[in-house]
Structure 1
Amino acid sequence: MFAPDLTARHVAGKDITLEQRAFGAYLGLAVGDALGATTEFLTPREIREKHGVHDRICGGGWLRLKPGQVTDDTEMSLALGQSIIESGKVEAKAVAEAFSQWMRGKPVDIGNTVRRGIVHYRNSGETSVPENKFDAGNGACMRSLPVAIAYWNAGWDKLFVASRTQSHITHHNGQADAGTEALLQMLCMAFKNASKQALFDIANGLVENHRVYRFDRRQVENPSGWIVETLQAVFQSFFNNDDFESVLVDVVNRGGDADTTGAIAGMLAGAFYGVDAIPGYWLKALNKDVKAACHGQTLALLKLADMSG
């Protein structure tokens, strides 16, 4: 395990409020999704040839998106968040129904594992797919932010139960569970004003328990939908850059599953640096309805966390 320079410049400001961090995470997710969708499935060389350094929310990509449009990463997060708000907790059947309704809306993109999980629920009524050692995709991790906001101060045990409840609807895999839970811990600690060193310690703990997640200075390029490569790329970009914009530009220019690496890096950097650290030109380019939904859900999920706590 390498040790990045985690000096005072990496310590988040203590004057950033919980609401600013949670809203920053939600907008960061959407911004990273919209930014990364343009370079999804491209190689770093192809990105350089086409965009130079890709740093604008301009749509396009293989999905031919409108500028500011988001993909399944943000849409599934919002579906999960709304389910939590309406149920008062992560309730398996309510979440499964929310995902099913989302798929009925013919989303612009949907992962194969997610599709199979939703179809399994529709056909069987079961809210957990069978455990599968080959389903270590990033599809449950990418949508997990609402769990972190609603359970930010509930304790790790409750957080992990809630995480697996939503995850196992589509992804039932120990490797994916471990990565998703580590990310949720990092988000919750960022909400509590933790230093970047404290977040690095959580990532390092994940590596100690699951060596496959080891990340070093050799940059992961073309990260796939495998959660291990996704989080390796996210950790490298987050721990080796000093501001929100640099983290996002770094990770989406690696190509591969760039909308999801962008979304996860965005939520983590947004939680750490706060909403005011997100460049205004990215926020201006983001779909207005998405921005409004992220704000409304942030407030409602934090209120729910206060009531539950």
Structure 2
Amino acid sequence: MTCDAIVGCLLGTAVGDALGLPYEGVSPQRAERLLGPADRYRFFFRRGMISDDTEHMCMVAQSLIKARGDVNVFTNRFASRLRWWILALPAGVGKATARAGVKLWLGAKPENAGVFSAGNGPAMRAAIFGAAIVDVPSLLKMVRASSRLTHSDPKAEYGAIAVALAAKHSRQHPTINANQWLDQVVDAVGEAGTELVELLRKAIESVGERESTNTFADSLGLGNGVTGYTYHTVPVAIHAWLSHPKDFRQAVTEMIRCGGDADTTAAIVGGIVGAGVGREGIPAEWIHGICEWPRSTAWMERLGDSLARSVAGEASVETPTINPIAVLLRNSFFLIVVLFHGFRRLAPPY
């Protein structure tokens, strides 16, 4: 069960990320005219590629394997991976994450590297904690350590906690109880997270009224696209999850239709739903349609299996690694494709 949830979370994140990537930064209105519906990959000749959202999720999973429940080991491992990840010149990295990476290279300790930002970086890599960790106190410690490494604004942390608990609820309950999940979030974030809790409560009410996720996003003033501010990203992503908790295709495509930071929002939704439905609940053509190396979908499955065996207490579990030279070559190619999409957006239809 845990292995299926972890693999589903990793692959779900990758699929949502790859499907949403071409739509990133495009309004819902123009996306329909420029790209069409998000029913297939539109990044590179009907194939998809992942971005920093999935890469961070994978780095968290690798760090959790080595940590074996020790939050200090996890923090140091993740900080080390983040340093080298920044050095590989990834395209599209968030400003706060980039600054935190530079601070780490300049000698800052992991607990002091975070930048005061309420971006959605911590939320984009949080679902794997809910898929892998059963004990809530341990889960919260890991989420906080992951969040504070790059983002010191408590809002970023609260958003990540909501996502991690959503993934945990998704994998543990065949039937989703939104209010039960929200009660856990309330206990975890306390009074300081009241603003987020109210937004999440609005999302639950909207789902109860059978409003579409696009309609809900519009009610928050996000008609031109969901921003990277975590109090925009997380409530809308939660709405998509609660609207289609066991229907991966519908949840992810409805999230992408909202526009804006579509790769991150779809990655979050994909990770949460994927933790509940597992690999078999994700459309096979979407898994096979991801064209990636060295972080291939097969590599991600091996990573998920290793993490599952590690959290189960198995000794001497090997952590799947990747060739840094291969990463540099891949990132160079990825940048070329990203630039092509950037220039394509300068042309009609507008």
* Structure 2: unaligned runs, 5 residues or longer: 207-214, 315-350
Contact in 2 for aligned 1:32/1:266 (Cα 8 Å): yes
Q: Which has the higher contact order (CA 8 A, sep 6+)?
A: 1
* Structure 1: unaligned runs, 5 residues or longer: 1-16
> Normalization by structure 2: what TM-score?
0.75
| Alignment-derived partner of residue 98 in structure 1 | 81
Matching of residue 276 in structure 1 with residue 280 in structure 2: yes
Which structure has more helix as a fraction of its residues? Answer: 2
Counterparts of 1:34 and 1:258, CA distance in 2: 10
Determine which of 117, 122, 137 is the counterpart of 1:135: 117
Matching of residue 36 in structure 1 with residue 39 in structure 2: no
| Alignment-derived partner of residue 76 in structure 1 | 56
Taking only aligned residues, the RMSD between alpha carbons, in angstroms, comes to: 2.4
Evaluate the alpha carbon distance shift between residue 57 and residue 200 of structure 1 in structure 2; reply closer, same or farther with a 3 A threshold. farther
Evaluate the alpha carbon distance shift between residue 261 and residue 292 of structure 1 in structure 2; reply closer, same or farther with a 3 A threshold. same
Q: Residue 128 of structure 1: SS of its match in structure 2?
A: helix
Contact in 1 for aligned 2:97/2:151 (Cα 8 Å): yes
Counterparts of 2:260 and 2:300, CA distance in 1: 26
Determine which of 191, 201, 205 is the counterpart of 2:180: 201
Contact in 2 for aligned 1:92/1:166 (Cα 8 Å): yes
Deviation (angstroms), 1:204 = 6.0
Counterparts of 1:259 and 1:34, CA distance in 2: 7
Q: Deviations over 1:101-148 (max 9, x none)?
A: 11111112210000111111221331023776x511110121223433
Q: Residue 38 of structure 1: SS of its match in structure 2?
A: helix
Contact in 1 for aligned 2:127/2:271 (Cα 8 Å): yes
Counterparts of 2:242 and 2:127, CA distance in 1: 19
* Equivalent runs, 1:1-309 vs 2, <5 Å: 17-59=1-43, 67-89=47-69, 90=71, 91-129=74-112, 134-150=116-132, 152-153=133-134, 155-193=135-173, 195-197=175-177, 199-203=178-182, 206=185, 209=191, 210-213=193-196, 214=199, 215-216=202-203, 217=206, 218-220=215-217, 221=222, 222-241=225-244, 243-287=247-291, 289-307=295-313
Counterparts of 1:86 and 1:292, CA distance in 2: 20
Counterparts of 2:105 and 2:20, CA distance in 1: 31
Q: Which amino acid in the other structure matches residue 233 of structure 1?
A: V
Q: Residue 161 of structure 2: SS of its match in structure 1?
A: helix
> Normalization by structure 1: what TM-score?
0.84
Q: Residue 286 of structure 1: SS of its match in structure 2?
A: coil
Q: Which amino acid in the other structure matches residue 108 of structure 1?
A: A
Equivalenced residue count is: 285
Contact in 2 for aligned 1:28/1:266 (Cα 8 Å): yes
Contact in 2 for aligned 1:248/1:266 (Cα 8 Å): yes
Counterparts of 2:194 and 2:149, CA distance in 1: 26
Contact in 2 for aligned 1:18/1:192 (Cα 8 Å): no
Evaluate the alpha carbon distance shift between residue 82 and residue 27 of structure 1 in structure 2; reply closer, same or farther with a 3 A threshold. same
Identity of aligned residues (%): 24
| Alignment-derived partner of residue 343 in structure 2 | none
